[in-house]
């Protein structure tokens, strides 16, 4: 093995009879480097976006949610609250009323999701990073206010300085008379606009829980309890404990069950990008096949010398196979170094901007995950090994006149 490595290194850095071999070897190395850099940078950007979305939605994404097993609304009595208060793993919790309603602003109508939360929400949750304009405020004296998703505000042309209220309609299920009486109607004024993720921005409006209960006509009933856990707590264990305490009238779900489609989408997009870049890298590896094939033909006179010196076919194959691995390893190392440096500079200085527009950040977010680095290096080296081994085995067998290894 040491002899094969020694000869392979001499071949890599020595002059060839045909200068094109040196050029193709260099192109192969550059191709692997570019592919590796692209994988590192793009996957790190995906990780950064994933982390940003999780952090930006963290205020609206509890660790656990308690909701009724049947129906939309339920009474959550003092005994249930007492059970939650006794749980040391719970940092805080909030009763929530959440339901769809019809919003009218000016002459425009839009179905939205109205989420009513308590005043304690502001004490526990820092919503400042999500605010695009205005302030996070749910009440002003006896008047109710709302914090509107930025997508809703853009679509309906809602302005904070206008005197036009947001008017909400919801079916009055107890009414049996006129059409007007068949709808509960309430209004509030917008206090600010928030941005989290597009799905929420396009439909969600936050307001006081009392306003939501009045609009939906549900008295003191609620939709669910949203729970935030203490750091480093096993959510699965707490979920099972709470479920056993509350019984079958309630269901307890974690954030991955609640936002299953969101997390699945992020994983599938990252996998799709990885596979596309991998395919490009696979095409680039054909340069390695060409480089090694031309090197074997260039050094075919040496094959007889190797046999005369007592090297078997496996050792001869190992020389040229190692040459291909060295090209791959050199390109991967250069690409990894460039990718890590680019990600570090982007994370520290943010020199690649998102461009003009209303974003909660100014530059592309990046996050290096070392498991991704190991996966990239392992994949690149495997491709380099395969691109080297099979053509080398075929050509050496053919030129030396033997079979197998």
Rounded-to-integer distance, Cα 384 and Cα 372, Å: 18
Length of the chain: 405
> In this predicted model, which residue has the larger pLDDT, 26 or 340?
340
Q: Do 331 and 14 meet the contact criterion of CB atoms below 8 Å apart? A: no
Per-residue pLDDT at 67 exceeds 70? yes
Share of the chain above pLDDT 70, in %: 89
Rounded-to-integer distance, Cα 319 and Cα 1, Å: 8
Rounded-to-integer distance, Cα 401 and Cα 399, Å: 5
* 86 SS3 class: coil
Reported as a single tens digit per residue, the pLDDT across 11-25 is: 766 665 566 677 777
Rounded-to-integer distance, Cα 187 and Cα 205, Å: 13
Residue identified by tokens 């309430």 is: 186
Question: What is the arithmetic mean of pLDDT over 105-128?
Answer: 86
State the chain's mean pLDDT as an integer. Answer: 83
Helix, strand, coil shares of the chain as percentages rounded to 5?
A: 55, 20, 25
Per-residue pLDDT at 356 exceeds 60? no
Of 141-150, 165-174, 229-238, 354-363, which gets the smallest average pLDDT?
354-363
Rounded-to-integer distance, Cα 137 and Cα 145, Å: 7
Reported as a single tens digit per residue, the pLDDT across 290-347 is: 888 888 877 777 887 877 777 878 888 888 888 888 888 999 999 999 999 999 988 8
Residue identified by tokens 């996070």 is: 136
Q: Do 127 and 139 meet the contact criterion of CB atoms below 8 Å apart? A: no
What value, to the nearest 5°, has the Cα angle with vertex 377 and ends 375 and 378?
Answer: 65
Rounded-to-integer distance, Cα 243 and Cα 259, Å: 19
pLDDT at residue 404, rounded to an integer: 42
Q: Encode burial over 321-339: b for 16+ CB neighbours within 10 A, e otherwise.
A: bbbbbbbbbbbbbbbbebb
Per-residue pLDDT at 402 exceeds 60? no
What pTM value is reported for the model? 0.64
Q: Do 155 and 202 meet the contact criterion of CB atoms below 8 Å apart? A: yes
DSSP-assigned letters across all residues of 179-239: TTTTEEEEEEEEEEEE-S-HHHHTTEEEEEHHHHHHHHT-TT-BSEEEEEEPTT--HHHHH
Name the burial class of residue 295, with classes exposed (0-12), middle (13-18) and buried (19+) by CB atoms within 10 angstroms of its CB.
buried
Residues 6 or more apart whose Cβ sits within 8 Å of residue 4: 315, 318, 319, 321, 322
Residue identified by tokens 């982007």 is: 346
Rounded-to-integer distance, Cα 214 and Cα 334, Å: 63
Per-residue pLDDT at 216 exceeds 90? yes
Rounded-to-integer distance, Cα 61 and Cα 207, Å: 16
Rounded-to-integer distance, Cα 152 and Cα 180, Å: 25
pLDDT at residue 394, rounded to an integer: 81
Per-residue pLDDT at 5 exceeds 80? no
pLDDT at residue 405, rounded to an integer: 42
* 304 SS3 class: helix
* 18 SS3 class: coil
Name the burial class of residue 309, with classes exposed (0-12), middle (13-18) and buried (19+) by CB atoms within 10 angstroms of its CB.
exposed
* C-alpha closest to that of 113 among 74, 152, 73, 140: 152
pLDDT at residue 177, rounded to an integer: 57
Residues 6 or more apart whose Cβ sits within 8 Å of residue 60: 196, 200, 204
Strand partners, 250: 68
Name the burial class of residue 14, with classes exposed (0-12), middle (13-18) and buried (19+) by CB atoms within 10 angstroms of its CB.
exposed
């Amino acid at each position: 093995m040491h002899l094969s490595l020694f000869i392979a290194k001499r071949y890599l850095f020595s002059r060839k009879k045909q200068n094109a071999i040196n050029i193709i070897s260099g192109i192969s190395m550059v191709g692997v480097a570019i592919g590796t850099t692209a994988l590192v940078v793009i996957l790190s950007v995906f990780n950064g976006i994933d982390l940003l979305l999780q952090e930006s939605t963290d205020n609206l994404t509890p660790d656990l949610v308690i909701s009724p097993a049947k129906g939309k609304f339920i009474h959550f009595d003092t005994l249930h609250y007492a059970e939650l208060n006794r749980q040391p793993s719970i940092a805080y919790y909030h009763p929530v009323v959440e339901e769809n309603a019809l919003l009218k602003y000016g002459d425009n109508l839009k179905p939205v999701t109205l989420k009513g939360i308590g005043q304690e929400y502001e004490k526990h949750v820092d919503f400042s990073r999500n605010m695009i304009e205005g302030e996070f405020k749910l009440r002003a004296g006896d008047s109710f206010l709302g914090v509107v998703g930025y997508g809703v505000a853009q679509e309906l042309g809602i302005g904070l300085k206008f005197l036009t209220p947001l008017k909400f309609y919801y079916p009055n299920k107890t009414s049996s008379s006129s059409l007007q009486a068949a709808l509960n109607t309430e209004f509030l004024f917008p206090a600010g606009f928030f941005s989290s993720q597009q799905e929420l921005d396009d439909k969600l409006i936050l307001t006081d829980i009392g306003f939501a209960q009045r609009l939906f006509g549900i008295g003191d009933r609620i939709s669910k309890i949203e729970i935030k856990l203490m750091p480093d707590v096993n959510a699965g264990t707490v979920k099972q404990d709470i479920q056993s305490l509350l019984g079958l009238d309630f269901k307890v779900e974690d954030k991955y069950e609640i936002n299953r489609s969101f997390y699945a989408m992020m994983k599938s997009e990252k996998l799709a990008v990885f596979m596309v870049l991998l395919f490009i890298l696979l095409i680039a590896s054909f340069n390695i096949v060409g480089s090694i094939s031309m090197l074997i033909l260039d050094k075919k006179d040496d094959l007889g010398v190797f046999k005369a010196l007592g090297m078997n076919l496996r050792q001869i194959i190992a020389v040229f196979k190692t040459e291909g691995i060295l090209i791959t390893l050199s390109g991967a190392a250069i690409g990894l170094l460039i990718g890590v440096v680019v990600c570090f500079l982007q994370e520290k200085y943010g020199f690649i901007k998102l461009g003009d527009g209303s974003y909660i950040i100014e530059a592309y977010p990046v996050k290096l995950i070392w498991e991704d680095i190991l996966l990239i290096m392992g994949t690149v080296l495997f491709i380099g090994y395969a691109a080297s081994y099979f053509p080398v085995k075929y050509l050496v067998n053919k030129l030396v006149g033997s079979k197998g290894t």
